[in-house]
């Protein structure tokens, strides 16, 4: 996923405010629940992404939809701010960037490991410890099964790709053989 500079700026500014109020983790959890709820409701997605709908109507829908649930005033005010600035369509990216902001504060980094087969807990731990040493950060891995790799692993962390898959090996041989 391509990272949005605008989403990063909104997340950083909001993150600094939340951090100064010791509310970063609880508001991230609220925001995540809110985003997942909106993404699960086609009608809400259409309303919030409709550029022809006046912002006042979107704010009214926001207040109605979340009046009796988990949303704090801090988060509600931020969401209203995003609606007023016509940035609500980027709410998922802002959530992701806010999580990345928190991870950075805690010395963590998120990564993806693609494997042709499921990894055991021991294999995942060994890989995670190795990546912790390479990055000098605490790595949080998301393991994704991708049978097209044939075997081996491909890992993506902080925009870097470590590809030890059989598919990559075969592609390297093909490139070598076709270049001569």
pLDDT digits (tens, 9 = 90+) for 68-80: 777 899 999 999 9
**3-state DSSP helix/strand/coil % of the chain, to nearest 5:** 65, 15, 25
Label residue 179 by pLDDT band (50, 70, 90): confident
Q: Per-residue pLDDT averaged across 32-47, rounded?
A: 93
Between the two ends of the chain, the Cα-to-Cα distance in Å is: 35
Residue 11 reports pLDDT greater than 70: yes
Higher pLDDT, 85 or 4: 85
Label residue 180 by pLDDT band (50, 70, 90): low
Residues above pLDDT 70, as percent of the chain: 97
> Which CATH architecture group holds 5-103?
Orthogonal Bundle (1.10)
Nearest to 36 by CA among 91, 77, 83, 76: 91
- Within the chain, all domains assigned CATH 3.40.30 are found at 107-179
Say what the pLDDT of residue 2 is. Answer: 60
pLDDT digits (tens, 9 = 90+) for 125-147: 999 999 999 999 999 999 999 99
Domain 107-179 has CATH 1.10.10: no
- Helix (H) or strand (E) holding 115, with range, is strand 108-115
Exposure of 107 by Cβ count < 10 A (0-12 exposed, 13-18 middle, 19+ buried)? Answer: exposed
- Within the chain, all domains assigned CATH 1.10.520.20 are found at 5-103
Cβ atoms 69, 44 nearer than 8 A:
no
Sheet holding 138-145, edge to edge: 138-145, 108-115, 153-157, 160-163
Instruction: State the Cα–Cα distance between residues 104 and 24, nearest whole angstrom.
Output: 13
What size, in residues, is the chain?
A: 180
Residue 30 reports pLDDT greater than 60: yes
Which SS3 state, helix, strand or coil, does residue 26 take?
helix
CA atoms within 13 A on the CB side of 134: 16
Nearest to 28 by CA among 83, 84, 104: 104
pLDDT digits (tens, 9 = 90+) for 79-99: 999 999 999 999 999 999 999
């Amino acid at each position: 996923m391509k990272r949005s500079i605008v989403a990063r700026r909104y997340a950083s500014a909001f993150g600094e405010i939340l951090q100064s109020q010791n509310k970063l983790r609880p508001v991230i959890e609220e925001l995540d629940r809110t985003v997942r709820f909106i993404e699960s409701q086609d009608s809400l997605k259409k309303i919030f992404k409709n550029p022809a709908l006046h912002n006042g109507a979107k704010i009214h829908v926001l207040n109605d939809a979340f009046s009796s649930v988990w949303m704090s005033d801090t988060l509600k005010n931020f969401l209203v701010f995003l609606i007023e600035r016509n940035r609500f369509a980027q709410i998922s990216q802002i959530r992701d960037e806010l999580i990345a902001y928190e991870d950075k504060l805690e010395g963590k980094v998120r990564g993806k490991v693609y494997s042709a087969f499921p990894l055991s807990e021991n294999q995942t731990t060994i890989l995670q410890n190795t990546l912790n040493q390479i990055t000098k950060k605490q790595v949080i891995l998301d393991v994704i099964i991708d049978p097209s790799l044939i075997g081996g692993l491909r890992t993506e962390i902080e925009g870097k790709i470590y590809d030890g898959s059989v598919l990559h090996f075969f592609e390297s041989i093909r490139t070598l053989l076709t270049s001569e």
